[in-house]
Amino acid sequence: MYPTRLIRRFRLVERKFREARMFADAVSSPRHPIMAHIVPIRRCNLSCAYCNEYDNSSKPVPMAEMIHRVDQLARLGTSIVTISGGEPLLHPDLEEIIRSIRARRMIATLISNGYLLTPQRIMRLNRAGLDQFEISIDNVLPDDVSKKSLKVLDPKLAWLNKYAVFDVCVNSVIGASFCAPEDTIRIALRARSLGFKHTIGIVHDRSGQLRSLTEQQQTILNDASIQNKSVFSFARYNEFQMNLAHGLPNRWHCRAGSRYLYICEDGMVHWCSQQRGHPGIPLDRYGREQLDHEFHSIKSCAPYCTIGCVHRVAMLDSLREEPRATLDEWMSSTGGKATRAKHPPLVRLLSWIYLAPKSSIRRRLFVRLTLRLLGVSQS
Ligand code: SF4
Ligand code: SF4
């Protein structure tokens, strides 16, 4: 038990360093994907009623092909590779794929329903170098909509707590189940009691668009968002979600196809899981021209989009383009642009250093030093 704790701490520090490098890379250059989702298998062992991302028959993509795709993502300068599905734990060579991502200096994360986890599998994921495991739990008891329930998955959470040296994040899709929406609070409390992060996604229709939430679901989302608020909790992201929960549109620039890529099981690049076919170009042929084009393209689905990871990626671009205004928005307790934000001391210190006038010696010195320390090349 003691060595696991020690390794976990060591890996946490090392991971934070690589996350800082990803962050510095993202805010210093718009010319590479920050995150890519890859699908090594479309098959899933469950069949959630709200999901359009699985089948029950397709075979795993061969390992050599998956590693070739990882190479292609490295060629584009991708920072984070998230393996999703279907259910990725069904892939027989999953750990090799994770190893290949880490060997190319990218952050490796995984989204799973957790059903196939065992202590042995967790230790294999440890050895492969996985950085984060996101497990989805939608309700306390399984129902017709989702079998991803706390009752079934709690033993898996206990194993993750005992054996995992990677980060664990529990995600609940709100609006998905017919059961009591306060389940989300119970799941969040259980996740935090085990030292895991907890996030909430909002259920979407088959094009990634908002499905309205009930008043009770809105309240629960609000409560969970308030509990999540810390300096770097992406407070602005909570605002995105709260707008959606109230049926209001968001004003943002979706950079899918450029800063975020979705690579399906056939090796094609799509904007996201819900907009497959756009642009629908093989990853092998994807390059600077396509990244630049999609960086500037306007997606009409953006105002009511619920795809959280693409929102978060876009927030890093806002920070790069308008750092002061973006920080004010993130830190503002009301989220209103006109409200003068009271920034916490750490944010004030970082702003003083990094947001000084471009010509200031302080800023030039610290930027150069930070990028050198993190091993980021300045473009
Ligand atoms: S477990 Fe995930 S991939 Fe499988 S059906 Fe449910 S939501 Fe879809
Ligand atoms: S706005 Fe972007 S992430 Fe959202 S559905 Fe459209 S393409 Fe996908």
Higher pLDDT, 177 or 70: 70
Q: Residue whose CA is closest, atom 7 of ligand 2?
A: 271
Give the amino acid at 77: G
Q: How far is the CA of 111 from the centre of ligand 1 (A)?
A: 10
Instruction: Report CA-CA distances (Å) from 243 to 142, 213, 215, 251, 252.
Output: 29, 11, 13, 10, 12
The tokens 């739990």 sit on which residue?
Answer: 137
Q: Please indicate whether residue 98, judged by its CB atom, sits closer than 6 Å to ligand 1.
A: no
Q: What is the DSSP letter of 281?
A: E
Q: Please indicate whether residue 307, judged by its CB atom, sits closer than 6 Å to ligand 2.
A: yes
**Residues near 348 by Cβ (< 8 Å), separated by ≥ 6?**
none
183, part of any domain? yes
155, part of any domain? yes
344, part of any domain? no
- Which atom of ligand 2 has the smallest separation from the CA of 208? 5
Q: Residue whose CA is closest, atom 8 of ligand 2?
A: 272
Whether residue 163 is predicted with pLDDT greater than 70 in this model: the reply is: yes
Q: Residue whose CA is closest, atom 3 of ligand 1?
A: 86
* pLDDT confidence bin for 222, thresholds 50/70/90: low
Give the predicted TM-score (pTM) of the model: 0.89
Q: Please indicate whether residue 264, judged by its CB atom, sits closer than 6 Å to ligand 2.
A: no
CATH of the domain at 102: 3.20.20.70
Q: Residue 254 CA: which ligand is closest?
A: 2
Q: Residue whose CA is closest, atom 6 of ligand 1?
A: 48
**Above pLDDT 70, what percent of the chain?**
85
* pLDDT confidence bin for 234, thresholds 50/70/90: very low
99, part of any domain? yes
- In three-state secondary structure terms, 334 is coil
* pLDDT confidence bin for 50, thresholds 50/70/90: confident
Whether residue 265 is predicted with pLDDT greater than 90 in this model: the reply is: yes
Q: How far is the CA of 301 from the centre of ligand 2 (A)?
A: 6
Mean pLDDT computed over every residue of the chain: 87
Q: Which one of 47, 115, 116 would you pick to mutate in the ligand 1 pocket, going by the greatest count of ligand atoms within 8 A of its CB? A: 47
Q: What is the DSSP letter of 284?
A: G
293, part of any domain? yes
Between 195-209, 307-321, 336-350, the lowest mean confidence (pLDDT) is in: 336-350
Between 225-239, 298-312, 328-342, the lowest mean confidence (pLDDT) is in: 225-239
Question: Is the distance from CB of 39 to CB of 55 less than 8 angstroms?
Answer: no
Q: How far is the CA of 104 from the centre of ligand 2 (A)?
A: 28
Task: Give the helix/strand (H/E) hosting 295.
Answer: helix 288-296
309, part of any domain? yes
Q: Which one of 305, 309, 317 would you pick to mutate in the ligand 2 pocket, going by the greatest count of ligand atoms within 8 A of its CB? A: 305
Give pLDDT, residue 335.
46
Q: Which burial class, exposed, middle or buried, applies to 170 when counting CB atoms under 10 A from its CB (0-12, 13-18, 19+)?
A: buried
Higher pLDDT, 37 or 210: 37
Whether residue 332 is predicted with pLDDT greater than 90 in this model: the reply is: no
Q: Please indicate whether residue 44, judged by its CB atom, sits closer than 6 Å to ligand 1.
A: yes
The tokens 């608020």 sit on which residue?
Answer: 229
125, part of any domain? yes
For the residues 283-301, what does the mean pLDDT come to?
97
Q: Which one of 53, 91, 306 would you pick to mutate in the ligand 1 pocket, going by the greatest count of ligand atoms within 8 A of its CB? A: 53
Q: Count structural domains, the chain.
A: 1
Q: What is the DSSP letter of 61?
A: P
Bridge-based pairing state of the strands 279-282 and 167-174? unpaired
Q: Which residues pair with 199 in a beta bridge?
A: 171
* pLDDT confidence bin for 212, thresholds 50/70/90: low
Higher pLDDT, 60 or 50: 60
Cβ-count burial 267-277 (b if 16+ within 10 Å, e if not):
bbbbbbbbbbe
The tokens 């959606």 sit on which residue?
Answer: 244
40, part of any domain? yes
Task: Provide the residue range defining the domain that includes 37.
Answer: 4-322
Give pLDDT, residue 210.
61
